[in-house]
Structure 1
């Protein structure tokens, strides 16, 4: 008769070790999943913050637009303007940098890359970090004043002395960045009133005088999509009634831009106030 040994001593230890291994694997898996979830959430937060930084950078560039320097740039690819490169946002959430390109006479591309503070500082474990790149095409919308003549009026006009009205488009002496002259306009555009000349007064244009019955009060208060009141509300220099001279103001060799009566020096574009 064959005898079978049934010695089960030590089985409890083996089962306990196996159970510990299984439990440890489950705990490690749960810990790993939780860590990964936290990292994914943190990365997503950094991505969203970086996007907000890039968006803020684009808006800051538009709000701080300087027409005296930006509008006179050459068109891409001849010229570009550096933004930043590590310009902090107003709320301190990150920094941004990029370029601004002129695509046409009134069309610009603003290309900005934003990074949150931790990504920009390079303190994230494993390197890398988040960054978002945002491009915005913006257009300068000039006010359409509807200039269809050198002088537009509702009433009669009398030119006396040395008064002269000329409808021809011309480039002032010394101005080198102007567009080519446009076609000649009428000298005087009126509602049907009389135009008289005396002394050395003269009217020239194509034609010299044109009658336009559509002229009314709105002709002088509505300009394209803007009204006079809307434009006046945006003025940052307000002067009371009085008699003023359209002269430039200088502080030594510099243009005095703090003087409210400084009208710039358009006739001398190379002077300190030539582009003011």
Structure 2
């Protein structure tokens, strides 16, 4: 569990974000049609044991383009505990409109605990830098050590950053397990949350501690790419095993760096359904292998 503080903002925030997305697009219009000459990267190392990046160890910042190409730059240590890494990289006039994702990628097994990441772009014929990505509360390990990967609720080898046009990669699932025999959540079995998007899907395994019946749960998941809210067409829970999990109520939320809090994406106050791959044996009136969640105001998003 990271240090992000749970904070629910009214669902209307979701509506405003999508309805008035055009205003944000207008604000960034000149930048999106221009090319980026230089990218400034500022990373703050956290206050954790062995959080520093050692001398001559290398990780990467990667810009993925819509055509599949990558622009990759090396981040080289040392960076000490509680210290800031700052560098500027020549991007050789990469068009902003072609960037689909920015992420940090592990270059080895030297773990680096990152508290905050901010990137800025300087466009062609411009003197000032403008924001590109913002993760003010990051608190994640960038680490390629296989022995440490299972300890994370995210993929420590590949950490998406939040582009400011606007997308999200950190999500939270919260609710209450049902009050029925054997309805608890077991971390040894596999269930998934699935985001069905306009151009595919993101499927993430739900991990975390075991949860007994009739108990609240909070589970965090991180998608492999940064997702734009208005690209989300459906959110579901998909069963990956026969270990049934009965859910009384459930809410999914996305972490918004701008507010340093979570905003509701789906909400089912009365859910009362089993998530279980043994659907036929349960005699249920619904498909327990695939449970749709109720999106908040997604119909107001323009495609």
TM-score where L is the length of structure 1: 0.25
User: Which structure: larger Rg?
Assistant: 1
TM-score where L is the length of structure 2: 0.23
Structure ranking higher in helix proportion = 1
Using CA pairs under 8 Å that are at least 6 residues apart, name the structure with larger relative contact order, 1 or 2.
2
Structure ranking higher in strand proportion = 2
